[in-house]
Structure 1
Amino acid sequence: MVFGFRPTPLMANGDISLISTGGEVTRAPHGTGKLILMPMMREMATRWVSGPLTDGRNGVLFRADDKAFWDALPQATDIRLEFERGTPITLTLGPMDKAVAGVRTCADSLLRHWGVDPSAMVGGHAETPFVAKWFNNNDYPAEARRQGKQGRVHAVATFDRTGAVIECRVVASSGVAALDNKTCDLVRLRGRVPAAGAGEADVRFLYMPVRWAI
């Protein structure tokens, strides 16, 4: 088994990967489960997806969207991965502090590649709950819905000191133009963040992974 991370600009919204060099980890294509850090027994509910990789191995991606989980990971000695059905897997971890720091460095590099200053992020590297209020089911583009199109749009918006949106742009396409365009249209229409405090940048950035699903 190979244990690793898939970096994301939101450290409270990352992926933990498990790759098997021999046989399937699980037969199901997706499901729910738990990630448990030991010895502190910090538990986190998760969703996961599995499937074959391009090199013939099989992998599972676990969603890790709890900041406290990432903060506790460097102190863990083992991690237990539980599926709603199937045999749990317990892995012994080596020193994790440098690995977690490396993931964060990689995430910052990705942000800079997109023209984002990591030190001027709204909410830092945590997920911002108010973004969900900018989107609802009635916003789904009609043509995309008729065609059964789904996807995840990765967008970056900029805001002034008052919290008003300046601009929005797609940095990684969903592959569906209607979903890409609608994402930034809604951000420009409804986007608003708390005003900047003392010492904060005049222009701030917000990274948003927006999932469109029917």
Structure 2
Amino acid sequence: MRTALLEREGFAALVLRLRAEGITNLDLLTAVEQTPRSAFVPPEYAQNAYSSRSIPIDCGQFMEGADLAVRLLSHLQVKPGHRVLEVGTGSGFVTAILGRLAERVISIERYKTLIANAQRRLEQLAIRNVILRQMDGMNGLPGEGTFDRIFATAAYPVMPRFFAEQLVSGGMLLAPLMVEEERCIMVRLTKTGSRFEREDLFEVPFLPLQPKIAQHL
């Protein structure tokens, strides 16, 4: 009962903050409401599940604050029927929301522990249109065709060119880009034919992308 109350209060406070930023997309907010964030954070952080602060998770990683997660999804503009690639499954919270918005989601992650935890949470929520894979995210997902949306939450040292081949025309990429040693910005690329329109959005606190899959975690 207490957990349900915290969920309602946390979500209501989040919606107020998001509306102040101009984020009012009903489909997106409904998907967030249907995805209890406290189920994705470590138990000791349950009371802070809907805060704007980053929360530590397994394997030395973190999940972005609730405000930033929804803000990024708002910029990604996922629609019904879309096929989405996510680079960096993490806790699986954003993955679950993508599953509610899109037709199909493939999410890749270098840590098998995070994959296993996210899979369990997705199954508990009966989200069945998401595929999780332990993979190196440096090259996206070659050999799986093209995607309407590609979303990354690990920062690339330079904007990866291979995404040009993995996006449909009219598709969109949202990915963090390192611009200084400890500073990265979120970049949105929209593909039109063979050309890209780039938009630098805002600074984000994501960690640099690590190559290869983790062997022990």
In which range does the TM-score fall when normalised by the shorter chain? under 0.3
Structure-1-length-normalised TM-score: 0.28
Q: Which has the higher strand share?
A: 1
**Larger Cα-atom Rg:** 1
**Greater relative contact order (Cα 8 A, min sep 6): structure 1 or 2?**
1
Q: Which has the higher helix share?
A: 2
Structure-2-length-normalised TM-score: 0.28
